[in-house]
Structure 1
């Protein structure tokens, strides 16, 4: 029986790196977390549409829409149509961002694609 210590080659000691789920979580920026807590983000396009079409949504309505979008996201919805009395919004629930907006008259003559959920709001 040989009791001497043997030299182990350096390459034999290297272990494969395993990407854990935690590393994905650390890539979320503070800005993203803060915006989720504060409410919906509005894309430049959506902001222009809200202004052009004179769509008025008050803070309380925005807060309620944000809550419903968070609920939808928990149910696996990624892109949602939010239908209100005066407007329809396309919202990316995954990014918590309003993508576009239109008034209800305009929305009634449209076909909406690439959505997997609808939120009906009572004003």
Structure 2
């Protein structure tokens, strides 16, 4: 009997290599998702800051909180760790890394204060 040696050839398919367009689309999509997630992050207010806001009868609207959140996030991206945020009725010290308001005072009280351990000022 004649023995046949048959070798079955399987075509070689190199691993998937995404094109630059696919890589860019994936990166852009990820960046967009990250921006949406970050923009939804709201500032937390420490117990101490809540007490100060109540004691000093300081009210901050939701729109103002959103504006403060956005600008603190932007400052954090630029390397600011602990900014002083000045708004019309209050001065807030914020830990940008943790997105937490540490303390608050009204603007009149803030005029007579020396602020330490801050590395940026945001005036709204």
TM-score normalized by structure 1?
0.69
* Residue 101 of structure 2 is aligned to residue 117 of structure 1: no
Unaligned stretches of 5+ residues in structure 2: 1-36
Q: Counterpart in 2 of 1:57?
A: 60
Q: Is the 8 A contact 2:39 2:70 kept in 1?
A: no
Larger radius of gyration: 2
Q: d(CA) in 2 for partners of 1:79 and 1:67?
A: 15
TM-score normalized by structure 2?
0.68
Q: Is the 8 A contact 1:90 1:100 kept in 2?
A: yes
Q: Is the 8 A contact 1:35 1:41 kept in 2?
A: no
Q: d(CA) in 2 for partners of 1:59 and 1:41?
A: 13
Instruction: Kindly state the Cα deviation for residue 38 of structure 1 after the two structures are TM-superposed.
Output: 3.5
Unaligned stretches of 5+ residues in structure 1: 1-33
Q: d(CA) in 2 for partners of 1:59 and 1:71?
A: 18
Instruction: Kindly state the Cα deviation for residue 85 of structure 1 after the two structures are TM-superposed.
Output: 1.0
Q: Is the 8 A contact 1:36 1:96 kept in 2?
A: no
Of 58, 82, 85, 1:82 maps to 85
Q: d(CA) in 1 for partners of 2:123 and 2:59?
A: 17
* Residue 79 of structure 2 is aligned to residue 41 of structure 1: no
Aligned-residue CA RMSD in angstroms? 1.5
Equivalent residues, number: 88
